[in-house]
């Protein structure tokens, strides 16, 4: 870097440094916003994700779902714009009990791969009217994760319900608790 020993040079260098600092300062909020919105790909799985893995390990083999009360419903569910959920194996008894238990999800979600099924996640489901009646009107939360409200009428022809997806067995670039997963496909059934 050339030396700067006169007033004009020092002043020009100061203006340059000030302009450089201002441009960096204007970019920093944008970078911080992008960082805040980016999924934490390298972060360890949330406690809820690990709890779901521990509770559903036996269902990695789809043949264990039926004897536990789970059966396929709705076919393979694909997203309106992108991604999919997969095939929901629903346990009607658990859906109807009005409770939420991390160790007993109401639905197991499988991705079809030819004639095989690959466990990719689970869904916790509870009837909205029942839940709200017995929980002082407060929506459900499971280990810090808020459930989404799905009003009737809906694509499943169900009464209004609350639901929470947990992508415990397949990474979801959008987040472990987002409904649609771009890594899941219904094309291979």
pLDDT above 80: residue 163: yes
Q: Which residues of 24-33 are buried (b: 16+ CB within 10 A; e: fewer)?
A: eeeeeeeeee
DSSP line for the chain? -----SHHHHHHHHHHHHHHHHHHHHHHHHHHHHHHHS--TTSPPPHHHHHHHHHHGGGGSGGGTGGGT-EEEEEEEE-SSS-EEEEEEE-HHHHHT----TTS-SEEEEEEETTEEEEEEEEEEEEHHHHHHHTTTPPPEETTEEPEEEPSS-TT---SEEEEEE-SSS--TT-TT-S-BTT--STT-
Percent of the chain with pLDDT over 90: 63
Segment 72-79 long-range contacts (CB within 8 Å, at least 24 positions apart): 73/107, 74/156, 76/112, 76/186, 76/189, 77/186, 78/186, 79/179, 79/180
| pLDDT in the model for residue 14 | 44
| pLDDT in the model for residue 187 | 86
pLDDT tens across 50-104, in order?
A: 999 999 999 999 999 999 999 999 889 987 777 899 999 999 999 989 999 999 9
Q: Would you say the C-alpha torsion 142, 146, 149, 155 has a positive or negative sign?
A: negative
pLDDT above 70: residue 27: no
Written as six digits, the tokens of 184 are 């899941």
Instruction: State how far the Cα of 125 lies from the Cα of 12, in Å rounded to an integer.
Output: 65
| pLDDT in the model for residue 43 | 56
Instruction: State how far the Cα of 163 lies from the Cα of 177, in Å rounded to an integer.
Output: 10
Global confidence as pTM? 0.75
pLDDT above 80: residue 33: no
| pLDDT in the model for residue 11 | 45
For residues 161-185, average pLDDT: 94
pLDDT tens across 140-150, in order?
A: 999 999 999 99
Closest CA to 85 of 111, 119, 55, 50: 111
| pLDDT in the model for residue 88 | 96
């Amino acid at each position: 870097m050339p030396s700067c020993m006169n007033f004009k040079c020092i002043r020009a260098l100061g203006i340059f440094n000030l302009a450089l600092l201002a441009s960096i300062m204007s970019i920093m909020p944008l970078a911080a916003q992008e960082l805040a919105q980016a999924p934490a790909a390298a972060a360890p799985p949330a406690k809820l994700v690990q709890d779901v893995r521990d509770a559903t390990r036996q269902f990695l083999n789809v043949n264990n779902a039926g004897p536990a009360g789970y059966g396929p419903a709705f076919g393979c569910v694909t997203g309106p714009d992108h991604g999919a959920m997969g095939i929901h194996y629903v346990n009607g008894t658990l859906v109807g009990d009005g409770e939420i238990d991390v160790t007993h999800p109401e639905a197991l979600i499988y991705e079809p791969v030819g004639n095989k099924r690959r466990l990719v996640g689970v869904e916790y489901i509870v009837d909205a009217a029942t839940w709200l009646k017995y929980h002082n009107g407060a929506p459900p939360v499971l280990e810090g994760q808020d459930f989404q409200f799905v009003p009737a009428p809906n694509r499943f022809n169900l009464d209004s319900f609350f639901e929470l997806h947990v992508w415990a067995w397949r990474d979801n670039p959008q987040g472990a608790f987002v409904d649609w997963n771009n890594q899941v496909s219904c094309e291979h059934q």
